[in-house]
Structure 1
């Protein structure tokens, strides 16, 4: 689905109105295409913390051109600042000293990453300084413009080598609609750093389960995981069987049609994965429904039981399936579980008490399991904002426009933006990324 307003702003008349009336001016976002380099330009590295010495080597491993010298002529596609050395608030001036001289020399769709130490793992003045990084990065994300993004990555001591996949994601066009996010590496126990032989096919030889895979965001997830080398097992309801089978045949994948809320669904999925694939490496709980209505009008006996059905599909089924796969040992060591939450589960939304409760519960599932999982298995969630799909195309025009414009990028995201974030979680080299909830929302201006 196209963004007609964004197309209008690029027309001669649109440019005049945007300039004179101060209208939202969404910049075209660069998105990754298979075969492209991760970063099409130079990344400037700065800071004097515990990651500074290793950063050039990590970027070299990713094939990313980098330098620590900001000469007067060079324009930059990315900035990486190691702030782990900031021990009290007087040292925060280093942020201004590094960024101010080079911000006007950033290319469009540039990437900014600040690396810090999780405040909860520090004490005293250092904790104060490290917490300040969140306000700095979120504010810069709303200033930077031109399709650029800003992220904060807290890296626990001893997890310095586990940051490579996260840098690759955040510095590349794969993170086009992710900005203002705080990511923690190594915050939930020690992770074993996993190497990847081919960064273009990090999921080669892996099996990935995707529920709700036949269309929309689920289809995009299946395509991106396949692109990254995985064998995809798509799951959807029997009514979507033809679409599901068509897609899985195109991707050389496998499929299973069932209602995930069925009493025997967890056992059937576990049996299918174990007998046909010998287990699973990536589990993506994408299937979800909405049944919107204000709570005062949501009677217990209303048609379709809006409350029970939404909770059953969006969180109860994913929880039961996850626990069944774990109990039977179907998820392979080093595997990844990903839940699809929503901004509604963080900020709330009128008429969506049922949906918001279910999506907040998905985040609760991540919180519940992050410290319990063994064998290097991780669990994380994505929280999409306004993503342009056939479903959102049916939203009333005024509501749709507000949803698309009230973020730092002044536009809606695409299904592939959610899929790329999930693929980063699923990357075996993301073993230190556990217990995170990353919003794929263009950095919403209100509520979250």
Structure 2
């Protein structure tokens, strides 16, 4: 779907009016592409993460001049007085960050700090990063990464994602990394070689984009959707040299049929992406019981049933990944979507409640929460709501399905073993509710 306002804003006359009238100015985002490396990274701070981070940065390919990214190790800040180090480091460099630049602050999880003062200072980093993400503009993003003691060597996958064009529509996020075994890929551009990934709701939109990106990353993708979407499903599977599986996930025998398919055709799956979802929007007073029940069943209950069989029958391979698609609506709520928001908040609850149990088996479970993404569904929204969704974020535009897919690919990587129980918004840093 074309964002006509952004197209106009990037024209000669549009640039003049945007500047003159103070209108929203959606920047051109720098997304991932072959050979599209970022330039030099400035590293500051002197906590326990500085040296491991330096080793990682030394391995990254760079191109161009100027400052493309700034990384600051704040893990050594032990009290509120130490927060002055943020000002001292960022004040002289922040205005020199190039368009579509990256800012990353590394910290220590407050809940693991040894004193109340240290926990207070580390929690304060969230306000700093989220505010900075709303200030820097020009398509740049800011993130906070809490790294637990013992997880220092598990950060590379996350840093590579956040410092690249893959994270173009991710900003203002707090990511937690814990100690875990990390399977470093031979090729960071194709970390899923030899892996099998299953994507539900893969026939169109975000699901089709997920299938495409996971294929690019080297995976064999099983594209799953309802029989009614069979033609589109076959097309997506063929385009990605994958497998099409027609299955209604709400059917009583769906978990059993899926389990038998995995065990018979692939022995196990390495990545399972819960993307299938529906909307049946009505205000609660006008919503039918069927509209409520169908959304809860597809968006949430089917995920619970599938996870139960995946885990009980050990159908995920070693270092396996489950990634669920939630929504900013599940965090902030949305008028006319009590059913949808309930289901998507439930997905977040499912991830958080399951993370500890899956970690015991060497697995991870995480969620992405998209904001306004340019799809056929959002194209059908009333113009005012559509434009509000596009502009009310720090990047002043809607995201693309590939932005969600890139985030899922990072969480699916065998090198992301320390990222577990996270909910990462792909919303351009929504300005409302989240």
TM-score with structure 2 setting the length:
0.98
Measure the CA separation in 1 of the matches of 2:140 and 2:329: 24
- 1:34-183 alignment runs, 5 A limit: 35-37=34-36, 39-64=37-62, 75-122=66-113, 123-183=115-175
Give a deviation string over 1:217-257, Cα, whole Å, max 9, x none: 00000000000000000100101111111211221111210
Q: 2:322 aligns with which of 321, 328, 337?
A: 337
Deviation at 1:211, TM superposition (A): 0.2
Q: SS state of the match for residue 284, structure 1? A: strand
Measure the CA separation in 1 of the matches of 2:325 and 2:288: 27
Deviation at 1:36, TM superposition (A): 2.2
Contact 1:141 1:150 in 2 (8 A): yes
Measure the CA separation in 2 of the matches of 1:107 and 1:337: 35
Deviation at 1:338, TM superposition (A): 0.5
Deviation at 1:430, TM superposition (A): 0.3
Contact 1:280 1:331 in 2 (8 A): yes
> Cα RMSD between the aligned structures?
1.2
Deviates more, 1:15-24 or 1:144-153: 15-24
Q: SS state of the match for residue 225, structure 1? A: helix
Deviation at 1:2, TM superposition (A): 1.5
Contact 1:208 1:281 in 2 (8 A): yes
Deviation at 1:185, TM superposition (A): 0.3
1:207 counterpart residue number? 196
Give a deviation string over 1:238-294, Cα, whole Å, max 9, x none: 011111112112211112101110001111111111111111000000000000000
Give a deviation string over 1:330-387, Cα, whole Å, max 9, x none: 1111001011000000000000000000000000110110011132100000000000
Measure the CA separation in 1 of the matches of 2:130 and 2:316: 36
Q: Which runs of 5+ in 1 are unaligned?
A: 67-73
Contact 2:372 2:427 in 1 (8 A): yes
Deviation at 1:64, TM superposition (A): 4.8
Deviation at 1:63, TM superposition (A): 3.2
Measure the CA separation in 1 of the matches of 2:332 and 2:62: 36
Contact 2:38 2:163 in 1 (8 A): no
Deviation at 1:14, TM superposition (A): 1.4
Q: 1:247 aligns with which of 202, 217, 236?
A: 236
Q: SS state of the match for residue 123, structure 2? A: helix
Measure the CA separation in 2 of the matches of 1:368 and 1:127: 24
- 1:48-447 alignment runs, 5 A limit: 48-64=46-62, 75-122=66-113, 123-186=115-178, 190-300=179-289, 305-373=290-358, 374-447=360-433
Measure the CA separation in 1 of the matches of 2:272 and 2:192: 13
Q: Are residues 1:24 and 2:24 paired?
A: yes
Deviation at 1:312, TM superposition (A): 0.5
Contact 2:44 2:73 in 1 (8 A): yes
Deviation at 1:193, TM superposition (A): 2.3
Deviation at 1:56, TM superposition (A): 1.8
Contact 2:70 2:103 in 1 (8 A): yes
Contact 1:79 1:113 in 2 (8 A): yes
TM-score with structure 1 setting the length:
0.95
Deviation at 1:157, TM superposition (A): 0.4
Measure the CA separation in 2 of the matches of 1:250 and 1:44: 40
Count of aligned residue pairs for this structure pair: 432
